[in-house]
A and B are shown apart, each in its own frame.
Chain A
Amino acid sequence: MPDLFEWLCRMGDNTLVLGHRVSEWCGHAPVLEEDIALANTALDLIGQTQMWLGLAAEVQGEGRSADDLAFRRDAWDFRNCLLVELPNRDFGHTLMRQFLFDSWHKLMLTGLCESQDDRIAAIAMKSLKEVSYHQERSADTVIGLGDGTAESHDRMQAALDRLWPYMGELFQPDAVDDRMTRQGIAPDLAALRSGFDAIIADTIQEATLVLTDSRFAHRGGRDGSRHTEHLGHMLAVMQVLPRSYPDARW
């Protein structure tokens, strides 16, 4: 896979898969305001997916569309990080996953606003406005629930412990990332880590939660080498219509 295409799929698959997960909450949230906020977040992420995968399809130059990439690839061709494909579990896991991803995403997009590729910088600038708001909201909710009741605190701590090992993958560049960085297209992932750690430390402390010292990182999503078992089930649902009726237009 050419670098730029591969890298654009990483961006677009993150937003596609997380947008899908968040949309699963629709109509089932703990309070009406959360139904609205979650739908809004999912909507932003799907909109960003259209831009990233649209550009990916364009640079690939094989006449495919963003929809073809979203609905006609199998799990091994998906390039999202493992974190976003994990199931929603309870609202605490969903919001902790959102907070962790948003915090990375905001830093990444901030870096991408300076990309040498104008198309990428333009998508980043548009997305950053939305993602800054997502991050503010998810951080506030993590704080509210962490520093809420004993039950909400314990649930948020459990979510943090469960999800933290999936965070490291987003800061471990591979050869594709290195080449993108050398070309001035994308920021150095490893260099985002200190800013990320500072944001996380502040929020987690205010939420009265405890961060483990372990830096163990599950990986295999961003290069497609080993996704979790969950992604296949998600794609089976997401892709059912275009796959079942390949000739149909919707």
Chain B
Amino acid sequence: MYAQMIQSEATTEDAEQLAAFQARIDAGERIEPKDWMPEGYRKTLIRQIGQHAHSEIVGQLPEGNWITRAPTLERKAILLAKVQDEAGHGLYLYCAAETLGISRDDLTEQLLSGRMKYSSIFNYPTLTWADVGAVGWLVDGAAIMNQVPLQRTSYGPYSRAMIRICKEESFHQRQGFDIMMKMAQGTEAQKRMAQDALNRFWYPSLMMFGPSDAESIHSTQNMAWRIKINSNDELRQKFVDQTVPQAEFLGLTIPDPNLRLNPETGHYDFSEPDWGEFFDVLRGNGPCNADRMEARQTAWSEGQWVRDGLMAHAAKKRARRVAAE
């Protein structure tokens, strides 16, 4: 998911206040920025929304990698619009996080110093044009699985951001599928690219939901707070059930010899991804972690003079206005 393995923060407030807060959530009320909230709720949300925002920002990079090589003007325009939407999602989410009392600069600093994470899916490379399709189809598809329920999350600004984001994400997913369709029905080379993209993105997409959290105390607390709505396994199953028929429609093979429809459950049985690889990527050892971090750090440090210049100009303008009054 765009926010993975969010641990809940400890909360030490008065039991009566906590019970009243929980009652509001259980009654389906939205918590708004000025309302009282437990410290753990606030901190967990900052971590979750911040991680989601960072994922949108870093997520520009693997797709941006193909903007300059998009094969038609229309594909270039669609991809530009998509990456622009992602930057926009980052912006709403940073704004939502700011309502919890942290600045965007603080969040950015935490991303750049490695103290905050972004979704590990963006640490995988986009090697062919089919990868742009696979990212839309699989990665956005997996993100939507998680984000649709989050439209009903308890924190008002986050829920509203999700409503807006989901509309755009489902459009992105359709665009991704459309690219895959063209590739899967195309020349031998295009078919090969499409299958190769599915081979490389299938398991990392399954990893996006995070390891099984059925037994996790963090998950239980986050679910009680309605920051998390479904378990990781539930969402992963839903994603597999949705995606397998789409792959069949495309004529592509999901790289899992154990994949089969279980007549008893009505769901697909599938192989677990390699969780060792997942934790390696999380620790910084994915194929692109160093490149992604370097790209963001360079953008930020080389942009320092621009931000300083614009701030200095704004201060001068204010001073001139005051002097004139």
Binding site for B on A (CB under 8 A): 16, 20, 23-24, 26-36, 39-40, 42-43, 46-47, 49-50, 53, 66-67, 70-71, 90-92, 141, 143-145, 147-149, 151-153, 155, 237-238, 240-242, 245, 247-250
Contact B312 A152 (CB under 8 A): yes
* Nearest-Cβ distance from residue A20 to partner chain B, whole angstroms: 6
Contact A249 B309 (CB under 8 A): no
* Nearest-Cβ distance from residue A121 to partner chain B, whole angstroms: 22
Question: Which single residue of chain B is at the shortest CB-CB distance from A238?
Answer: B68
A-B contact pairs, 14 of them (CB 8 A): A23-B80, A27-B87, A30-B302, A30-B304, A33-B91, A39-B83, A42-B80, A53-B73, A66-B73, A67-B74, A152-B312, A241-B71, A248-B187, A250-B71
Q: Known contacts A42-B80, A245-B189; is A28 also within 8 Å of B299 by CB?
A: yes
Sample of 12 more A-B contacts, CB < 8 Å, known A147-B316, A237-B69, A245-B189 = A16-B73, A26-B64, A27-B83, A32-B90, A32-B91, A39-B80, A50-B74, A144-B314, A149-B308, A152-B312, A247-B187, A248-B186
Contact with A along B73-89 (1 / 0, CB 8 A): 11111001101100110
Question: Which single residue of chain B is at the shortest CB-CB distance from A38?
Answer: B84
Contact A46 B76 (CB under 8 A): yes
* Tally of chain B residues near chain A (CB < 8 A): 50
Chain B residues within 8 Å of A43, by CB:
77, 80-81, 84
Contact B94 A32 (CB under 8 A): yes
What's the Cα separation between A46 and B88 when bound, in Å? 20
Contact A39 B312 (CB under 8 A): no
Chain A residues within 8 Å of B25, by CB:
none
Chain A residues within 8 Å of B182, by CB:
249-250
Chain B residues within 8 Å of A35, by CB:
60, 84, 87
Interface centre among A20, A50, A152 (most CB of B within 10 A): A152
Binding site for A on B (CB under 8 A): 57, 60-61, 64, 67-77, 80-81, 83-84, 87-88, 90-91, 94, 104, 129, 179, 182, 186-187, 189-190, 295, 298-300, 302-314, 316
Q: Known contacts A29-B303, A39-B83, A245-B190; is A67 also within 8 Å of B72 by CB?
A: yes
Contact B94 A31 (CB under 8 A): no
Chain B residues within 8 Å of A30, by CB:
299-300, 302-304, 306-307
Contact B80 A70 (CB under 8 A): no
Q: Known contacts A32-B87, A248-B187, A248-B189; is A144 also within 8 Å of B310 by CB?
A: yes
Interface centre among B68, B70, B313 (most CB of A within 10 A): B313
* Nearest-Cβ distance from residue A182 to partner chain B, whole angstroms: 31
What's the Cα separation between A67 and B75 when bound, in Å? 11
Q: Known contacts A35-B60, A149-B309, A152-B306; is A27 also within 8 Å of B299 by CB?
A: yes
Contact A91 B64 (CB under 8 A): no
* Nearest-Cβ distance from residue B306 to partner chain A, whole angstroms: 4
Contact A36 B91 (CB under 8 A): yes
Contact A148 B308 (CB under 8 A): yes
Contact A23 B67 (CB under 8 A): yes
Contact A27 B80 (CB under 8 A): no
Q: Known contacts A28-B298, A50-B74, A248-B189; is A36 also within 8 Å of B308 by CB?
A: no
Contact A240 B309 (CB under 8 A): no
What's the Cα separation between A49 and B77 when bound, in Å? 10
Q: Known contacts A39-B87, A43-B84; is A151 also within 8 Å of B68 by CB?
A: no
* Nearest-Cβ distance from residue B70 to partner chain A, whole angstroms: 8
Chain B residues within 8 Å of A248, by CB:
71, 186-187, 189-190
Interface centre among B60, B64, B305 (most CB of A within 10 A): B305
* Nearest-Cβ distance from residue B280 to partner chain A, whole angstroms: 24
What's the Cα separation between A24 and B233 when bound, in Å? 39
Chain B residues within 8 Å of A152, by CB:
305-306, 308-310, 312
* Nearest-Cβ distance from residue A197 to partner chain B, whole angstroms: 24
Chain A residues within 8 Å of B179, by CB:
250
Q: Known contacts A32-B87, A40-B84, A149-B312; is A27 also within 8 Å of B60 by CB?
A: yes
* Nearest-Cβ distance from residue B168 to partner chain A, whole angstroms: 13
Interface centre among B71, B75, B83, B104 (most CB of A within 10 A): B71
Contact B303 A91 (CB under 8 A): yes
Contact B303 A49 (CB under 8 A): no
* Nearest-Cβ distance from residue A43 to partner chain B, whole angstroms: 5
What's the Cα separation between A247 and B189 when bound, in Å? 10
* Nearest-Cβ distance from residue B134 to partner chain A, whole angstroms: 15
Contact B71 A242 (CB under 8 A): yes
* Nearest-Cβ distance from residue B295 to partner chain A, whole angstroms: 7
Contact A151 B305 (CB under 8 A): yes
What's the Cα separation between A248 and B73 when bound, in Å? 15
What's the Cα separation between A145 and B312 when bound, in Å? 9
